[in-house]
Amino acid sequence: MFLAILKRLLMLVPVLIGITLISFLLLQIMPGDPASRAMGSRASAEDLQAMRELWGLDKPIWVQYFYFLRDCVTGSFGVSIFHKQPIITLVADRLPYTLAIVLYSTVIALVIALPFAILAAANRGRFLDVAIRQIFVVLIALPPFWLCYVLILWLALNLGMFPTGGVGTGFFANLYRLFLPSLVVGLSTAALIQQSLRAALIDAMKADYVDTARAKGLRGYEVFLRHILPNSLISTISIIGVRVSWIIGGTVVVEKIFSVPGLGSLLIDSIVSRDLPVIRGLTVFFAVMVVTVNLIADICYALADPRIRLE
């Protein structure tokens, strides 16, 4: 088990190098001199020169890449032009909110998708199954940025049940204030995972151990709760693992609209203020987040499934 995790970690090294390489190339596709593009037209000649030296713009391109790689490995991810701080400091302040929305929305997505997946799987091919599928088709078609405003208009402005945005202090205050943003991400995630969950449940229902459990006299709901559900929940881990990139991407839009000071708001703000080092550093950071969650999902999957654990 330990060896398997170590091997998996070693396999990550080329992926991480690839991620930094692509983020590095991102700034290379930009026409013109990166320093003057980043500093704006009002920058003084000394500032521009300092920028060129900091990024190594006078050096060959592969040296520039190693400058950037050094920043990533030493943990600063570069320095923001606008905030004049290492990017990692900016990230550290905002990461908790983004992680909170990722977790919260995943829970919401499961709470919504699982009961419908169970109902659909239990009534496979019948009217209820088809009807549930149509509900989720509509859910997929809802554009998240618009849904944010519909919910703000309906639940926040008209009914006054929720604040229109912002965050609070403490766990319960944020559980309340982050509900709407997490709901928007959760709904779109639920739409994406419901079909896979249904398929996983149907697979589990067809397994031989279900026949065995029935043969030894267990009742329908007992078979379901003790055999079918636990086994299909294991595959839920990998289904969410596959979708995590989508979930993390979804936080960007809702954070900005609900004024949550997370990584997504930072990304959009730095695009507006053309803070290029932050844009580059954040793309690396978002990808590292996805890779890390995938790794965690793989390890959880291995821990939950004895067949993989014993390998």
Residues lying near another protein in the complex (CB under 8 A) are found at 14-15, 18-19, 21-23, 26-27, 29-30, 133, 137-138, 140-147, 149-150, 152-153, 157, 245-246, 248-250, 252-253, 256, 267-268, 270-272, 274, 276, 279-280, 282-283, 286-287, 290-291, 294
**Beta carbon of residue 279, minimum distance to another protein (angstroms, whole number):** 5
Q: By C-beta, is 142 or 175 nearer to another protein? A: 142
**Beta carbon of residue 14, minimum distance to another protein (angstroms, whole number):** 7
Structure tokens at 263: 């990584």
Q: By C-beta, is 111 or 137 nearer to another protein? A: 137
**Beta carbon of residue 211, minimum distance to another protein (angstroms, whole number):** 27
**Beta carbon of residue 167, minimum distance to another protein (angstroms, whole number):** 21
Q: By C-beta, is 138 or 159 nearer to another protein? A: 138
Q: By C-beta, is 123 or 273 nearer to another protein? A: 273
**Beta carbon of residue 221, minimum distance to another protein (angstroms, whole number):** 31
Q: What is the spatial distance between Cα 105 and Cα 92, in angstroms, rounded to a whole number?
A: 21
Q: What is the spatial distance between Cα 66 and Cα 21, in angstroms, rounded to a whole number?
A: 10
Cβ pair 38, 277 in contact under 8 A: yes
Structure tokens at 259: 């004024």
Query: Considering only CA atoms, which of 63, 73, 69, 61 is closest in space to residue 21?
Result: 69
**Beta carbon of residue 206, minimum distance to another protein (angstroms, whole number):** 20
Can you name the residues that pair with 79 across neighbouring β-strands?
A: 86
Can you name the residues that pair with 86 across neighbouring β-strands?
A: 79
> How many H helices and E strands in the chain?
15, 0
Cβ pair 98, 178 in contact under 8 A: no
Beta-carbon contacts of 244 under 8 Å, excluding residues fewer than 6 positions away, are: 102, 290, 293, 294, 297
**Beta carbon of residue 214, minimum distance to another protein (angstroms, whole number):** 31
CA dihedral 298, 300, 301, 307 (to 10 degrees): 110
Query: Considering only CA atoms, which of 20, 11, 18 is closest in space to residue 284?
Result: 20
Q: By C-beta, is 121 or 275 nearer to another protein? A: 275
Q: By C-beta, is 245 or 304 nearer to another protein? A: 245
Q: By C-beta, is 79 or 139 nearer to another protein? A: 139
Structure tokens at 29: 């596709």
Q: By C-beta, is 1 or 150 nearer to another protein? A: 150
Cβ pair 90, 278 in contact under 8 A: yes
**Beta carbon of residue 74, minimum distance to another protein (angstroms, whole number):** 21
